[in-house]
Structure 1
Amino acid sequence: MQPTVRDHALADGLRAGQAAVEEGLLRATKSDVPFITQAARELTRTAGRRLRPLLVLLAARFGDPGAPGVVPAAVVVELTHLATHYHDDVRDEAAVRRDAPRPDANWDNTVAVLTGDFLFARASHILADLGPEAVRIQAQAFRRQVTGQILETTGPCEGRDPVEHHLDVLASRTGSLTAVSGRLGALASGADPSVADALARYGERLGVASHLADEVAAPTARRPTLPVLLLAGAADPADRELHELLTGLAERAGPTERAGHADAVGHSDAVARLRTHPVLDRAREETARQADAARAALSTLPGCPARDVLESLCETVVALTAPSSCG
């Protein structure tokens, strides 16, 4: 996700920072064992948005962007993000993720899980040099991520609104790491703690909005998504029938086997119906609401080119949900 940066000095600084992050990722994923290097870099090459490192670099603009801990902090959050992808995709048994092959497509699940563990270990090693406060912040975020995974797996408790539960899950699973990106960037640059707090609030809401935008752009029932959850509470029998069709096909595919041809065609038809359903408009509204909350979190920060870019990211996320963007 690359926003338009109108300030030339900031654009040059971000390009230099992003190049340094890529070099740091290459160093961090190198092992004395060639196979581990290959496995660790497989997803690194295909995951292209680099939102979290970008947030670290932008957050550092509220302090000293050249401070020695800024680029390592950006490498840490991206390594953590990639590690969670390895674990998520094994758990989901997804064939592809954002048009890239699943990381364990070339190896069995054990190797994929251990590769994720290797990336976590590398992130922890780099993090240790950033000081105990950075370690504490990352540990809290990891606890939230694991909690979110568990809550998603167990589902909402009786009487809990499934939509509210889903948003809480996203705040923990996705928002926690984007929140850490803002906080670590501010911390590494020596920015004021109040700035770090504001950027953490911004990051969490932006992370939720970004994930919701993905759910709108590529609706599916392979795991809980807002459009499908909204269908579940619909009064129209046709909507309930579509929800049952989507979730039923996903369940029949099972966690460890691929759907048969008939089910695959049925799922494709059901998703096509979902793409034109009014619940997507409601999902777009929620995405915009989360993006607005992210923008509001920036209100206490001083005006500067970095803040302008952070605000533009909110607009970029919302634009991803436009009907023309979603096909």
Structure 2
Amino acid sequence: MTAPVSPAVPVASIPGVDDALQARVADGMTAVAARMLEVVDHHDPFIAEASGHLAAAGGKRFRPLLTLLASEVGSGWNDRVVDAAVGVELTHLASLYHDDVMDEADLRRGVDSANARYGNATAILIGDLLFGTASSVVAGLGAEAVRIQAETFVRLCAGQIRDDRQTLDAAPASAALAGDADDPAAVTAYLQILADKTGALIATSARYGAMFGGCDAATVRTLTDYAERLGVVFQLADDLLDVASQADTSGKTPGTDLREGKATLPVLYARTSTDPADARLLELTRGPIEDPDDLAEALELLRGHRAMGQARAHAARVADEARVLLDGLDPTPAVDALRALVDGVAERSV
């Protein structure tokens, strides 16, 4: 049997959630956790244990929560909404197995990463297995759901490929990925990576919830657009936390992006500086940082740089765009909760 899937994140973590809505969504999250335990199980004990490793470690369960909340804008969650939530969460978990191999990360959710625990080859294969499991669950929701899952998977992979190829080299192959942060092309290219590698799956989470929760087509489109922007804010917050957090509080290895030489938004803003005092920071962030002492120095310098404030302000602007989209929906407790969710995600970057 697989390791037990940890309890879902309490809906009370979203400030101001209506009590009745909170109870319904909490029940839905319990149903999602039970269904995940069922579909991740495997007759081979090792495969079962490895497949459930990250699920058992917990996590925010942000995507299934969003699926359930979006369904509540319509008629509420049901078995199809639960399966949709399981499908997006398994797709997310599968991507984490692959991400940790690419990042050579040691920690994920406060425990050993899958690659550290099982080795790179097994971690990749377990990720593939979970992608297959997600597809099997989604297949039960019909051809349209399968098409959406496939398109989402393509965007996720394309965004991850572009992100992986992005470096801070002084003369990269793609100027659009490395230019001045004041250059609209550079920021646009960076935000498109985030929209693809993170926003696409979060958008699909809300889209599925709205679809299978009985929302009309216009509401489905609005919630999909809202959630893609929410996903960009979510990733911007993660990128800021990669600089600002400590391993003992975040459960992740800080400085992963800097170590790999990825041009996240704080670094793009830092690279616009002409202040001689920033010369050392610019030198350190020209490419991958292999020396642990150099990485610690780069983190310290970037944490104190105004570029962090500029990146946080950018995240706040995208969060505002998400909130404005919700203004077109009838006010309900579910819409209020979705608006509060934007606030909670944005505050992670503060």
TM-score scaled by length of structure 1: 0.90
* Unaligned residue ranges in structure 1 (runs of 5+): 254-262, 323-327
Deviation at 1:47, TM superposition (A): 4.0
Where structure 2 has 5 or more consecutive residues not aligned to the other structure, the ranges are 1-8, 167-172, 178-184, 244-254
1:314 CA drift (Å): 1.2
Could you tell me the percent identity over the aligned residues?
A: 41
1:222 to 259, 264, 285: 259
Letter in 2 for 1:172: D
Once the two structures are TM-superposed, the CA of residue 196 in structure 1 deviates from its matched residue by: 0.9
Larger deviation: 23-32 or 312-321? 312-321
Find out whether 1:137 has 2:174 as its counterpart: no
Preserved CA contact (<8 Å) 1:5 1:11? no
Q: Distance in 2 between matches of 1:184 and 1:4?
A: 24
CA distance in 2, matches of 1:246, 1:164: 21
Say whether residues 1:191 and 2:215 are aligned partners.
yes
Is this contact kept in 2: 1:195–1:301, CA < 8 A? yes
Query: C-alpha displacement at 1:240, in angstroms?
Result: 4.4
- Once the two structures are TM-superposed, the CA of residue 188 in structure 1 deviates from its matched residue by 1.1
User: What residue number does 2:277 align with?
Assistant: 238
1:180 equivalenced with 2:200 (yes/no): no
Say what the alpha-carbon RMSD is for the aligned residues: 1.7
For 1:135 and 1:6, the matched residues in 2 are separated by 32
Instruction: Describe how 1:88-103 pairs up with structure 2 within 5 A.
Output: 88-103=99-114
Shift of 1:100: 3.6
Query: Cα deviations across residues 280-313 of structure 1 (Å, max 9, x unaligned)?
Result: 0001001101111111121221110011111011
> Is 1:264 aligned to 2:316, yes or no?
no
Identify which of 233, 237, 255 aligns with 1:209. Answer: 233
Which amino acid in the other structure matches residue 71 of structure 2?
A: A
Question: Which of 124, 128, 131 is 1:113 aligned to?
Answer: 124
2:38 — aligned with what?
27
| Residue number in structure 2 paired with 1:158 | 175
User: Does structure 2 retain, via aligned residues, the 8 Å contact 1:246–1:271?
Assistant: no
Tell me what 1:260 maps to.
none
**CA shift digits 1:250-307 (9 cap, x unpaired):** 34x2xxxxxxxxx212311220121111000001001101111111121221110011
Residue from 37, 40, 51 that aligns with 2:62: 51
The 8 Å contact of residues 167 and 208 in structure 1, kept in 2 or not, is answered as: yes
How many residues align structurally? 311
3-state SS of 2:118 partner: coil
Separation of aligned partners in 2, 1:239 and 1:174: 31
| C-alpha separation in 2, matches of 1:243 and 1:98 | 31
C-alpha change, 1:47 and 1:173, in structure 2 (3 Å) is farther
Change (3 A) 1:238 1:14: same
Aligned to 1:258: none
Cα deviation, residue 235, structure 1: 1.9
The 3 A distance-change label for structure 1 pair 215 and 69 is: same
TM-score (norm 2): 0.84
Quick one: distance in 1 between partners of 2:88 and 2:37? 14
In the aligned structure 2, how far is the partner of 1:141 from the partner of 1:12? Answer: 30
* Equivalent residue, structure 2, for 1:169: 193
Cα distance 1:63–1:274, how it changes in 2: closer, same or farther (>3 A)? same
